[in-house]
């Protein structure tokens, strides 16, 4: 990792998946290269900001040429760790857990779902997307055996703390938390808290603003 990568602002890191998704689309369209201005038009980020973002990681562009789409896509994938083959388990096989387990985006982005767990006898033993739901009592043994990197938490609020403790003690390196509890852990375990209602509330705000603007 370059020295510049050690202090990358979180806002820049959050933009990297957007760059990666759009570059994936360009690759599928057969686009070979793109300028920062053209990327700016598509991403709704200024060309100057794009260049600043990429400069944290060494640049990638050539003056007068722009960016090689395939190379940039691969480089950002490396930065995001998408080529590391991280494995993950989902704890909680309710409606959200089932939906996540059935979604193919994780596999497409390089993450391998290796296990699904629950404590409901009616759910244990059922199959979701080709994987049998296992009893959560065997979570620690499974993680130790499979060397799981990421734990996805979709359990009810009351079970979050115990689930987090078990996952962390078992050695997972990161948690993707879909509960409504905001998790903050030490630096050894990375956490992303996902609140599904936040985008809907943001959308509600924008609708309200548009309505008020139309009345002026």
**The predicted structure's pLDDT at residue 3:** 40
Buried (b) or exposed (e) across 29-50, using 16+ Cβ within 10 A? eeeebbebeebbeebebeeeeb
**The predicted structure's pLDDT at residue 83:** 85
**The predicted structure's pLDDT at residue 60:** 82
**The predicted structure's pLDDT at residue 61:** 67
**The predicted structure's pLDDT at residue 215:** 78
Task: Specify the CATH number for 87-197; select among 3.20.20.140, 3.40.50.720, 3.30.300.90, 3.40.50.1110.
Answer: 3.40.50.720
**The predicted structure's pLDDT at residue 6:** 57
Per-residue pLDDT in tens (0 to 9) along the chain, 216 residues? 444 445 889 899 999 999 999 999 999 999 999 988 888 888 888 989 998 999 898 878 666 678 899 999 999 999 999 988 899 999 999 999 999 999 888 888 889 999 999 999 999 999 999 999 999 999 999 999 999 999 999 999 999 999 999 999 999 999 999 998 899 888 889 999 998 899 899 999 999 999 988 877
**The predicted structure's pLDDT at residue 63:** 64
Segments in the chain forming alpha helices (H): 10-28, 36-43, 47-55, 69-80, 95-102, 105-108, 139-146, 160-170, 197-215
Task: Specify the CATH number for 3-80; select among 1.20.210.10, 2.60.40.10, 2.160.20.80, 1.10.10.10.
Answer: 1.10.10.10
pTM: 0.83
**The predicted structure's pLDDT at residue 214:** 83
- CA-to-CA distance for 216 and 213, rounded, in angstroms? 5
Domain boundaries, the chain: 3-80, 87-197
User: Quick count: other Cβ atoms within 10 Å of Cβ 166?
Assistant: 17
**The predicted structure's pLDDT at residue 2:** 45
């Amino acid at each position: 990792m370059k020295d510049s990568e050690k202090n990358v602002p979180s806002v820049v890191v959050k933009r990297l998946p957007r760059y990666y998704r759009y570059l994936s689309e360009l690759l599928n369209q057969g686009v070979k290269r793109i300028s920062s201005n053209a990327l700016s038009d598509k991403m709704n980020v200024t060309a100057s900001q794009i260049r600043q973002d990429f400069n944290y990681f060494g640049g990638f562009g050539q003056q007068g040429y722009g960016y090689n789409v395939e190379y940039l896509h691969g480089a950002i994938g490396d930065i995001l760790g998408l080529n590391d083959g991280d494995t993950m388990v989902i704890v909680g096989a309710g409606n959200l857990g089932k939906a996540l387990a059935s979604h193919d985006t994780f596999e497409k982005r390089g993450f391998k779902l290796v296990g699904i767990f629950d404590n409901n006898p009616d759910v244990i033993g059922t199959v979701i997307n080709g994987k049998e739901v296992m009893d959560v009592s065997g979570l620690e043994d499974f993680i130790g055996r499979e060397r799981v990197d990421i734990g996805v938490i979709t359990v009810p609020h009351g079970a979050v703390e115990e689930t987090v403790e078990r996952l962390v003690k078992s050695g997972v390196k990161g948690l993707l938390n879909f509960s409504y509890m905001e998790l903050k852990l030490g630096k050894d375990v990375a956490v992303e808290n996902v609140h599904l209602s936040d985008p809907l509330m943001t959308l509600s705000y924008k609708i309200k603003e548009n309505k008020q603007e139309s009345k002026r």
